């Protein structure tokens, strides 16, 4: 694995003294599973993007460096969808169709759909609107 990208390069930078925790999650049928390191999700802003793919999937996103994200099972059922400039690889389970996140290789980070993280209480999230429809 590569070295983690500096947090300052993430869309939502982490505090320099943030305690990093291991989070787990996966798709609805549990065939695709992952783990990633990220500060406490309830202390960070979670992005609610209005781009067409995020809206259609109901995605609420957090970001972590590539080196701090890994699939632990189900990569054989993992599929990717790309559109537009194809820079972002949107990942979902081919069995149940659940969107688990995306990969932005050019920027060196993974995008995790918080709705697929184990044990998340959506009512406790601090949402930040992002105008993805205007982003290129």
Residue appearing with tokens 């291991």: 22
Query: How does residue 6 score in pLDDT terms, banded at 50, 70 and 90?
Result: low
Q: Which pLDDT score is estimated for 31?
A: 98
pTM value surpassing 0.85: yes
Higher pLDDT, 106 or 136: 106
Domains and CATH numbers, the chain: 20-130 (2.170.150.70)
Q: Which of 72, 133, 74 is nearest to 98 (CA)?
A: 74
CA dist., res. 71 & res. 124, Å (int) = 26
User: What is the average pLDDT across 43-53?
Assistant: 93
Q: What is the largest CA-CA distance in the chain?
A: 39
Alpha helices in the chain (DSSP H): 52-57
Mean pLDDT of the chain, nearest integer = 91
User: What would the pLDDT profile of 113-123 be if each residue is shown by its tens digit?
Assistant: 999 999 999 99
Q: Which pLDDT score is estimated for 1?
A: 38
What is the DSSP annotation of 63-80?
EEEGGGEEEEE-GGGEEE
């Amino acid at each position: 694995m590569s070295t983690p990208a500096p947090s300052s390069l993430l869309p939502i930078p982490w505090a320099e003294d943030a305690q990093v925790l291991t989070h787990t999650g996966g798709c609805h049928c549990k065939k695709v599973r992952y783990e990633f390191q990220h500060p406490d999700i309830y202390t960070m802003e979670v992005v609610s993007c209005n781009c067409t793919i995020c809206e259609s999937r109901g995605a609420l996103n957090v970001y972590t460096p590539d080196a701090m994200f890994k699939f632990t099972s189900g990569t054989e059922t993992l599929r990717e969808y790309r559109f537009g400039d194809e820079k972002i690889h949107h990942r979902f389970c081919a069995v149940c169709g659940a969107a688990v996140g995306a990969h932005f290789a050019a920027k060196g980070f993974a995008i995790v759909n918080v709705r697929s993280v184990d044990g998340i209480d959506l009512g406790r999230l601090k949402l930040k609107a992002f105008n993805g429809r205007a982003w290129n």
